[in-house]
Amino acid sequence: MNTLVDYENIFIGKPKGIKVLQAIDVSKRYQKDYVLRNVNLELEQGRLGIIGLHDSGKTVLMRLLSGLEKPSSGKITLDGRKLDRRKIAYVPQTPLFDPLLKAKEVMRYVGSEEYLDVVDLEREKKVKDMSLGEKKRLALALSLPFSPEYLLIDDITEDSKEFFLEFIKNFRGGVIISYHNFRDVWEVIDDVIILSKGRVTYKGNKEGLKFKIIRTKALSIPFDRVVREGDYVEIWEEFNDNSVEEKLKALGINYEVKEASPDEVFQRFYA
Amino acid sequence: MRFSNVFMLEIKKLLPLFFLVLVSMAVTLGIAQLPSSSFDVIGAISYSSYGVEIGGYGFNFCGQGVPLTVNITIDCFHKIIKSENGTFLVYIPLIFPKDSNLTINITSGKENYVVSKVLTRNFTTFVYAPASYFSINYNNISVIYIKGKTVVATSLKCIYVNGEKMDVNSTIFVINSDNVKPPFGNYTLTDLQVIKDEEYCIISLLGVNMGLILLTAYYYLSVFPRRLLDLIFRLIGVGKIYLSKTISMLVFTLLTSLPSLIIFALLKGIFLSSILPYILIELVYSLAVLGISPLVSSKGLVYSSITLAGYLLNLVFYNEETLSLAFLILPLIGYIKLRWVYR
């Protein structure tokens, strides 16, 4: 292991002092079209997943949080002050580098090519020969010499999924990961923001997305979150809530219960 | 991060384009081969009671004889002579030619020169020197200073070559030195006439070099709009990279323009000090293109750089090269734009 790499400032312990990365009433528009509207978020040391379908505004929000773009209205702050971009490691959806440069040469811009070992990337490999996942790892390596306190990852590719999920688990600071489903990132996130057409449709702990589906014959009793499927209805209920089952039991109605995956919940109610 | 690291990376990105330096030199050699349309003529006229003798030499700026057609009219007498090597000598038998009207019409290519004289002196010289550093014309001596040579027509007995006295044995002769002085007067050579004669070649050469700089800029500077440096700007800011790109562009521009302009100057006999304004123009162009690059798209960079080249070449045409310094505002604007975007 190379001693020039400051592993302590990447993986071990927590950053000194609790800093808060905040987006306050952030909107972004290009020409007249809004791609984000009134987004609020706050992150200290946890791991936040920003989930949304294609064109929901995830990437724009990540660019705003990384400081690469400025919001049209609202503001992004770090501990109430102007954003210090060096304290935020940012892995874009599609990182762009000069294709003729080698990984070690790209790292020379920030002065320390040793961090390529941390992201498990060959120093001599040229950017043009790298897969998207490798380019993402290179983007991460660029930020590491500055001892980042936040890690922003916009999308994970299949070839680097294992690496990034492991990295997130070990990273000492706050993490925001944007992705299009829960299945792949569920294990590494604590809180969730769901974006749909630039607006926040869900914000809270990931446990709030655990639902069960109660399936029974068609009913005339009104319930929240009821979906009709032919002769049957599906009643979606939060996992820890048993009120629907108790009502059905009281009425003597037979029903089946199955667990809904977070992705089903996301696509059914928030996408 | 050290500045030298960033600078070396920027130079490395430019390396694949250094073959353009050779292209520039090859184009220079091609342009320098274009023959000049101008020619110089020096000659002497002497007469006695029995006739008039007219001799002369037509040559280019390098001292090589050019084909001539000489049409002589004296009173009612006409004579046409053709010369392939530029020299001509005619004797016209004419009794008591004093006060006769003499007209000599000398043509080479499309250029024409007419000498009209009334024969009042036994010996007189004439000179026509549009392609020369300098020329002297008195009755008893005419001198044309060209590239590395001096052509003299005189009835004097001596002249000074490189500061040393030299006896004269013939009427029209060529000396392999441009430091030739008659026994009187003091003369300073200037290449203004040469530059004027080569104006279109110089503008073409600058245009080609600007084209090569534009090609380089499209490849090398379009990274600003193409966002290849986004992540790096985000972390280390704009200053060091912009400065290193500026220096790299200046190095590349000097390597492209300096050898080509020096070669052209040496081949055409232009003084090296006279090419400084042209180097200035190319450096200003390079910096201006650098300044434009963050402001426009890749395609916009091409269009605006071509327009800018037009403006700068016009300044060369009107000998107002120093006005080009105004374009140095552009790199500053480009820098401010980048600072604003990555603030």
Per-residue pLDDT reduced to its tens digit, B151-164 = 999 988 888 898 88
Whether residue A96 and residue B2 make contact (CB cut-off 8 A), yes or no, is no
Q: How many contacts, defined by CB atoms under 8 Å, are there between A and B?
A: 57
In this predicted structure, what is the pLDDT of residue A1? 39
Across B205-213, average pLDDT: 95
Per-residue pLDDT reduced to its tens digit, B265-289 = 999 889 999 999 999 999 999 999 9
Residues 6+ apart with CB under 8 A from A168: A47, A151, A153, A175, A177, A188
For residue B263, the one-letter residue type is I
Across B118-144, average pLDDT: 90
The model's pTM: 0.80
Question: Chain B within 8 Å of A93 (Cβ-Cβ)?
Answer: no
Find out whether B154 and B124 touch, Cβ atoms under 8 Å.
no
Question: Could you tell me which chain B residue has the CA closest to the CA of A96?
Answer: B228
Identify the helix (H) or strand (E) that includes residue B14.
Answer: helix B3-14
DSSP letter for A120, please: T
Beta strands (DSSP E) in chain B are: 40-48, 51-59, 68-74, 77-83, 87-93, 101-108, 111-118, 123-128, 134-137, 141-146, 149-154, 158-161, 164-167, 172-175, 180-181
Q: Could you say which of B9, B223, B226 has the minimum Cβ distance to residue A109? A: B9
Phi, psi of A55 (to 5 degrees): 65, 25
In this predicted structure, what is the pLDDT of residue A254? 82
Whether residue A96 and residue B5 make contact (CB cut-off 8 A), yes or no, is no
Q: Could you say which of B12, B230, B235 has the minimum Cβ distance to residue A96? A: B230
Assign B208 to helix, strand or coil.
helix
In this predicted structure, what is the pLDDT of residue A2? 43
Per-residue pLDDT of chain A (271 residues; tens, 9 = 90+): 344 566 666 665 556 665 789 999 999 999 888 999 999 998 888 899 999 998 899 999 999 999 988 999 999 998 888 888 888 999 999 999 988 889 999 998 888 888 999 898 999 999 999 999 999 999 999 999 988 889 999 998 888 888 999 999 888 889 999 999 888 888 889 999 999 999 999 998 888 888 888 888 766 666 777 777 777 888 888 888 888 888 888 878 888 888 888 888 888 888 7
Assign B121 to helix, strand or coil.
coil
Q: What is the CA radius of gyration of chain B?
A: 28
B191 to B146, B195, B198, B202: CA distances (angstroms): 10, 6, 10, 14
First to last CA, chain B: 19
**Residue A194's closest CA among A43, A57, A11?**
A57
Phi, psi of A260 (to 5 degrees): -95, 140
Q: Could you say which of B1, B228, B235 has the minimum Cβ distance to residue A97? A: B228
In this predicted structure, what is the pLDDT of residue A177? 93
Residue B5: its chain A contacts at CB < 8 A? Answer: 108-109, 111
Structural domains in chain A, sorted by start: 7-207 (3.40.50.300), 210-270 (no CATH)
* Residues forming a β-bridge with B256: none
Rounded CA separation A106/A124 (Å):
11
Rounded CA separation B178/B162 (Å):
8
Give the pair of three-digit tokens for residue B13: 């990105």
Question: Could you tell me which chain B residue has the CA closest to the CA of A113?
Answer: B1
Question: Could you tell me which chain A residue has the CA closest to the CA of B219?
Answer: A98
Whether residue B5 and residue A108 make contact (CB cut-off 8 A), yes or no, is yes
User: Distance, in angstroms, between A67 CA and closest chain B CA?
Assistant: 7
**Residue A9's closest CA among A159, A107, A146, A143?**
A146
Q: Is the pLDDT of residue B69 over 90?
A: yes
Per-residue pLDDT reduced to its tens digit, B217-261 = 998 887 666 778 888 888 888 888 899 999 999 999 999 999 999
Whether residue A105 and residue B6 make contact (CB cut-off 8 A), yes or no, is no
Mutate to test the interface with A, among B17, B223, B234 (most CBs of A within 10 A): B234
Phi, psi of A104 (to 5 degrees): -65, -30
Residues 6+ apart with CB under 8 A from A100: A126, A127, A128, B12, B13, B16
User: Distance, in angstroms, between B227 CA and closest chain A CA?
Assistant: 7
Mutate to test the interface with A, among B1, B13, B230, B231 (most CBs of A within 10 A): B231
Identify the helix (H) or strand (E) that includes residue A105.
Answer: helix A103-108
Rounded CA separation A144/A150 (Å):
11
How many C-beta neighbours within 10 Å does residue A179 have? 19
Question: Chain B within 8 Å of A107 (Cβ-Cβ)?
Answer: no
Whether residue A109 and residue B6 make contact (CB cut-off 8 A), yes or no, is yes
In this predicted structure, what is the pLDDT of residue A28? 94
Across B84-110, average pLDDT: 90
Whether residue A92 and residue B16 make contact (CB cut-off 8 A), yes or no, is no
Rounded CA separation B29/B33 (Å):
6
In this predicted structure, what is the pLDDT of residue A16? 60
DSSP letter for A126, please: B
